Structure 1
Amino acid sequence: MSKEMIEALDALEVEKGVKKEVVVEALEAALESAYKRNYNQAPNVEVTFDQKQGDIHVYAVKEVTEEVFDSRLEVSLKDALLINRAYEIGDEIRFEVTPKDFGRIAAQTAKQVIMQRVREAERSIVYDEYSQYENEIMQGVVERRDNKFIYVNLGKIEAVLGKQDQMPNENYESHDRIKVYVTKVENTSKGPQVFVSRTNPGLVKRLFEQEVPEIFDGVVEIVGVAREAGDRTKIAVRATNPNVDAVGTTVGPKGNRVQAVVNELSGENMDVVQWEENPSDFIANALNPAQVIAVQFNDEDNERACTVIVPDYQLSLAIGKKGQNARLAAKLTGYKIDIKPESEVEFVDDDEVNNDTEDATPAATTADATPVADTPTESETNE
């Protein structure tokens, strides 16, 4: 068995990257437990594995004492001096007590330990490989589904696509190839688990990075993403080069770049707007495609709130279907937005367009600002 044991340890280190010392340490601990369990021995036992010869030795460790009360744990100073005259009270002496039939138990234990370490090594390799893809896109194949989850094959592991991460306008069938956004990779007792999403705003951001080289290279930055998955998304962009049109670059010639993202997301509408340092300008852009006459800020309660005035005929467009346009604009800008028609405003000075003015009367609709996942903080978005 000794030769086979050494060969198995060498193969484990070469093929699985598991250090021989790590396996030997685990093996000795397992053999110690096996010895105590099978031979009903005291806890003062050590097991060693000779890595050169492959031999296993069991030792009973006893303390040198003046008087012996438990012969399993202690040895008298008189007997210790017969072994070596250098021993003193308090020293420990190891007596080999390896049973003749211990080889069978050792072989079974070694097999179990090696198999366990192989599984752990494989899990560790998979975890290390996939953890680097957190917050990135991967392409996978739909394997199966149950009442709650879709299981996506990513190669060496099956990822979980939860109910809340599934697009409401998509049906997932076996063998479908889909792009997913990796939200989390966990190393659990059952092995690594990968969680993916089709609804996370980060998916939109990564798709634009794939389609728009200027975004990937940092010439154009995505400042924020507000998304209602499967229906509509607004993204705010800015250029780091003043000679680059951030919106036009992102949309692409004839809209081909944004259309590629729309197609990947099963027809989800995309609004690409220009980020502006001036909050009123940014809010006006965020309400695209509606025309904005003025943005008035309500600062009395120290809230990030504003009233937006639009032409009467643009009111429905500004609010959007079921309030979606205003809601996404609020998410994108971080402001609570009240929208009202021009006819309800007594007076609007042309000089006040998109600038701070006095508080206006109650709005026709209100959209609350809520946190936007995977986007810069409010302070970054509205510097």
Structure 2
Amino acid sequence: MARKTTKAKAKATDPGQEFLMTLRELGKEKGIDEEVLFEAIEAALISAYKRNFSAKENVSVTLSRETGHYHVYALKQVVEEAENDITEISLARARAIKPDYEIGDEIEIEVTPADFGRVAAQTAKQVVVQRIREAERGIIYEEYMERESDIITGIVQRVEKGNVFVDLGKTEAILTPSEQIPTENYTHGMRIKAFVVEVKKTNKGPQIVVSRTHPGLLKRLFELEVPEIQEGVVEIKSVAREPGNRSKIAVWSKDENVDPVGACVGHRGMRVQAIVDELGSEKIDIVKWNEDSATYIANALSPAKVVSVAVNEEERVSRVVVPDYQLSLAIGKEGQNARLAAKLTSWKIDIKSETQAADEVLDDSMNEVSVVTEESFSAEGES
């Protein structure tokens, strides 16, 4: 007896439905509104139709949200007698389609070419890919826009013409020569922390500009390293840097029982040492901020000891006197300590040793005596 076998017919998948499913899954996965994709594809299909079939016709294209099928419609204006068949249709022909058409109405006539599916599918794929790229760039841009003035960690990918490109995972950042610490050598695979200075929108995606020299990097490193700063007990009032060499940071505590300098230094200097290591052995002076300008200026000149500080509040100029043996320390190598203290406090600082200050006082008093003597002789002459 002959055996009868039956083969189950494979259910054909509707290409339109398959396309819709793929489109919606991609939209959901990439966080793109599916309607945005539909509209973008429709706009691209108009260009594709004109490029491949008719450049002169005024057309519209619809992509069915239910079936995934494409339809091309020629847009024509109803006139008494059509003189241009591409843009016009006679009233008689229009009413043959729909009896209530009037002159001046715009009518849509389907003109979908038989082989438009191939062109449409290719165009749709290009549009979807492009939109996904744009959406991903937009997401990355928004993500890093929120991280402006924050620290990011990345790996040095390459160095080109002095610019260092840092791999951040989803994208890359650029560290320009002006934002690099002069004493650092950036090599492939090196892990670094950097401060996000600016995020720009470009045709190739977001451009993230980072810095290793910005004062904000030092500030954020302390905020991450010191719990008292995170909790708001200790506050960073000011930062001054000469990157790779030396920095000063002024701190203050709203709690009298908390030493802000000690909190930033940490047990056995562990907290500040972690930051020094991150910045390539950049020396860091941590000083106590004070609302009294003279006291603050004296603190800012640390580690030098100060005898006295006189201030002119209007001109923001100060005159500082230090012991003779502390003068070179107060000024620092090539004026660095005094320069950083001036940046930190936003005051102009004139530093004198006790001997120099005493000599100037003596000179001033001698001048006063000289003036009085001249005036007295003049008075005697007149008498």
Name the TM-score class by shorter chain: 0.7 to 0.9
Q: Give the drift of 1:40.
A: 3.1
What is the aligned partner in structure 2 of residue 334 from structure 1? 346
What is the aligned partner in structure 2 of residue 64 from structure 1? 78
Cα distance in 2 for partners of 1:347, 1:188 equals 63
Distance 1:138 1:128, change over 3 A: same
Cα distance in 1 for partners of 2:309, 2:122 equals 77
Is 2:316 aligned against 1:304? yes
Cα distance in 2 for partners of 1:329, 1:260 equals 23
Is 2:34 aligned against 1:20? yes
Mapping of 1:283-298 within 5 angstroms? Answer: 283-298=297-312
Q: Give the drift of 1:180.
A: 1.8
The SS at the match of 2:20 is helix
What is the aligned partner in structure 2 of residue 252 from structure 1? 266
Q: Whose radius of gyration is greater, 1 or 2?
A: 2
Q: Give the drift of 1:268.
A: 0.7
What is the aligned partner in structure 2 of residue 104 from structure 1? 118
What is the aligned partner in structure 2 of residue 380 from structure 1? none
Q: One-letter code of the match for 1:96?
A: E
Mapping of 1:105-254 within 5 angstroms? Answer: 105-254=119-268
The SS at the match of 1:345 is helix
What is the aligned partner in structure 1 of residue 43 from structure 2? 29
Give TM-score, length-normalised by structure 2: 0.85
Please, which of 7, 22, 25 is the counterpart of residue 8 of structure 1? Answer: 22
Cα distance in 2 for partners of 1:102, 1:213 equals 65
What is the aligned partner in structure 2 of residue 368 from structure 1? none
The SS at the match of 2:275 is helix
Cα distance in 2 for partners of 1:278, 1:89 equals 85
Cα distance in 2 for partners of 1:152, 1:97 equals 52
Distance 1:347 1:298, change over 3 A: farther
The SS at the match of 2:188 is coil
Paired residues, number: 349
Give TM-score, length-normalised by structure 1: 0.85
Is 2:331 aligned against 1:319? yes
Cα distance in 1 for partners of 2:39, 2:123 equals 13
The answer for unaligned runs of 5 or more in structure 2 is 1-14, 368-383
Q: One-letter code of the match for 1:107?
A: A
The answer for unaligned runs of 5 or more in structure 1 is 350-357, 362-383
Q: Deviations over 1:150-203 (max 9, x none)?
A: 222222222212112221222222222222222222332101222222111111
Q: Which moved more, 1:42-51 or 1:60-69?
A: 60-69
Contact 2:293 2:311 in 1 (8 A): no
Percent of aligned positions that are identical: 55
Contact 2:57 2:86 in 1 (8 A): no
Q: One-letter code of the match for 1:155?
A: G
Cα distance in 2 for partners of 1:147, 1:64 equals 64
